[in-house]
Structure 1
Amino acid sequence: MNSEETNGGLPTADDVVTAADVRAARERLEDVVHRTPLDRSTTFAERSGATSVGLKLENMQRTGSFKSRGAYNTMAQLSPEERERGVVASSAGNHAQGVALAGRLLDVDTTIVVPEVTPSAKIEATRGYGADVVVEGDIYERSYEHALELADEEELSFVHPFNDEAIIAGQGTVGLELLEQYPELDTVLVSIGGGGLISGIATVLEARDPDVRVVGVQPEGASHAKPSLERGEIHELSDVDTVAEGIADTRLLEKTFAVVRERVDDVVSVSDREMSVAVTLLAERAKTVAETAGAAPLAALLSGTVDVDDEHVAVVVSGGNVNLSEHGELTRTGRMELGRYAEARLAIADWPTGVETLAATVEQHGAELDVLERARRTATDDPNRTPVTVGVAGSGPEHLSAVLGALDERDGIGVADDTLDE
Structure 2
Amino acid sequence: MSQGQGQGHSETVPSASEVVTEADVKAANERLAEVVHQTPLDGSTTIAEHCGAARVDLKLENMQRTGSFKIRGAYNAMAQLPEDVRERGVVASSAGNHAQGVALAGQLLGIETTIVVPEITPAAKIDATRGYGAEVVVEGEQYERSYEYALELAEEEGLEFVHPFDDPDIIAGQGTVGLEILDEAPDLDTVLVSIGGGGLISGIATVLKAHDPDIRVVGVQPEGAAHAKPSMEQDEIHMLSEVDTVAEGIADARLLEQTFAVIRERVDDVVSVSDRELTVASTLLAERAKTVAETAGAAPVAALLSGGVDVQDEHVAAIVSGGNVDLTEHAEVTRTGLHELGRYVDARLELRGWPTALGAVTELVEEQGAALDTVERANRRVTDDPNRVPVTVGLAGSGPEHLREVLDALAGLEGVAVVENSLDR
Same fold, TM-score > 0.5, yes or no:
yes
Q: Distance in 2 between matches of 1:241 and 1:225?
A: 15
Alignment partner of 1:347 out of 347, 350, 357: 350
1:277 aligns with 2:264: no
Residues 1:421 and 1:66: Cα distance change in structure 2 (over 3 Å): closer
Q: CA deviation at 1:9?
A: 1.4
Q: Which digits, 9 at most, give the CA deviation of each residue in 1:179-221, with x for residues without a partner?
A: 1111221100000000000000000011111110000000000
Instruction: Decide whether the 8 Å contact of 1:218 with 1:268 is kept in 2.
Output: yes
1:401 aligns with 2:390: no
Instruction: Decide whether the 8 Å contact of 2:11 with 2:257 is kept in 1.
Output: no
Q: Which digits, 9 at most, give the CA deviation of each residue in 1:29-80, with x for residues without a partner?
A: 0000000000011111111100000000000000000000000000000000
Residues 1:367 and 1:177: Cα distance change in structure 2 (over 3 Å): same
Q: Distance in 2 between matches of 1:333 and 1:191?
A: 21
- Which amino acid is 1:278 matched to? A
Q: CA deviation at 1:417?
A: 4.7
1:372 aligns with 2:375: yes
Partner residue, 2:3: none
Residues 1:130 and 1:211: Cα distance change in structure 2 (over 3 Å): same
Alignment partner of 2:321 out of 318, 322, 329: 318
Instruction: Decide whether the 8 Å contact of 2:71 with 2:105 is kept in 1.
Output: yes
Q: CA deviation at 1:232?
A: 0.7
Q: Secondary structure at the match of 1:197?
A: helix
Alignment partner of 1:91 out of 90, 94, 100: 94
Partner residue, 1:187: 190
The equivalences for 1:141-180 within 5 A come to 141-180=144-183
The equivalences for 1:20-59 within 5 A come to 20-59=23-62
Q: CA deviation at 1:8?
A: 6.1
RMSD of aligned Cα (Å): 1.0
Partner residue, 1:4: none
Larger RCO, structure (CA 8 Å, separation 6 or more): 2
Q: Secondary structure at the match of 1:252?
A: coil
Q: Distance in 2 between matches of 1:95 and 1:211?
A: 31
Partner residue, 2:303: 300
Residues 1:329 and 1:421: Cα distance change in structure 2 (over 3 Å): closer
Partner residue, 2:4: none
Alignment partner of 1:134 out of 134, 137, 147: 137
Q: Secondary structure at the match of 1:416?
A: strand
Q: CA deviation at 1:246?
A: 0.1
Q: CA deviation at 1:420?
A: 6.9
Residues 1:37 and 1:379: Cα distance change in structure 2 (over 3 Å): same
Q: Secondary structure at the match of 1:293?
A: coil
Q: Distance in 1 between matches of 2:424 and 2:25?
A: 56
Q: Distance in 2 between matches of 1:277 and 1:165?
A: 34
Unpaired runs of at least 5, structure 1: 1-6
Q: Distance in 2 between matches of 1:76 and 1:197?
A: 19
Partner residue, 1:231: 234
Q: Distance in 1 between matches of 2:136 and 2:420?
A: 50
Partner residue, 1:259: 262
- Which amino acid is 2:340 matched to? E
Instruction: Decide whether the 8 Å contact of 1:73 with 1:166 is kept in 2.
Output: yes
Q: Which moved more, 1:163-172 or 1:37-46?
A: 37-46
Instruction: Decide whether the 8 Å contact of 2:279 with 2:337 is kept in 1.
Output: yes
Q: Distance in 1 between matches of 2:253 and 2:188?
A: 31
Q: Which digits, 9 at most, give the CA deviation of each residue in 1:373-410, with x for residues without a partner?
A: 11110100011111011000000000000000110110
Q: CA deviation at 1:354?
A: 1.3
Q: Which moved more, 1:41-50 or 1:298-307?
A: 41-50
Q: Which digits, 9 at most, give the CA deviation of each residue in 1:309-364, with x for residues without a partner?
A: 01000000000000110110010000000000000000011111211011011111
Instruction: Decide whether the 8 Å contact of 2:93 with 2:164 is kept in 1.
Output: yes
Q: Distance in 2 between matches of 1:418 and 1:307?
A: 35
1:415 aligns with 2:418: yes
Partner residue, 2:252: 249
Q: CA deviation at 1:114?
A: 0.1
1:70 aligns with 2:73: yes
Partner residue, 1:216: 219
- Which amino acid is 2:99 matched to? A
- Which amino acid is 2:387 matched to? N
Instruction: Decide whether the 8 Å contact of 2:281 with 2:298 is kept in 1.
Output: yes
Q: Secondary structure at the match of 1:410?
A: coil
Q: TM-score, normalised by structure 2?
A: 0.97
Residues 1:418 and 1:344: Cα distance change in structure 2 (over 3 Å): closer
Partner residue, 1:79: 82
Equivalenced residue count is: 416
- Which amino acid is 2:187 matched to? E
Residues 1:421 and 1:195: Cα distance change in structure 2 (over 3 Å): closer
Partner residue, 2:384: 381
1:309 aligns with 2:292: no
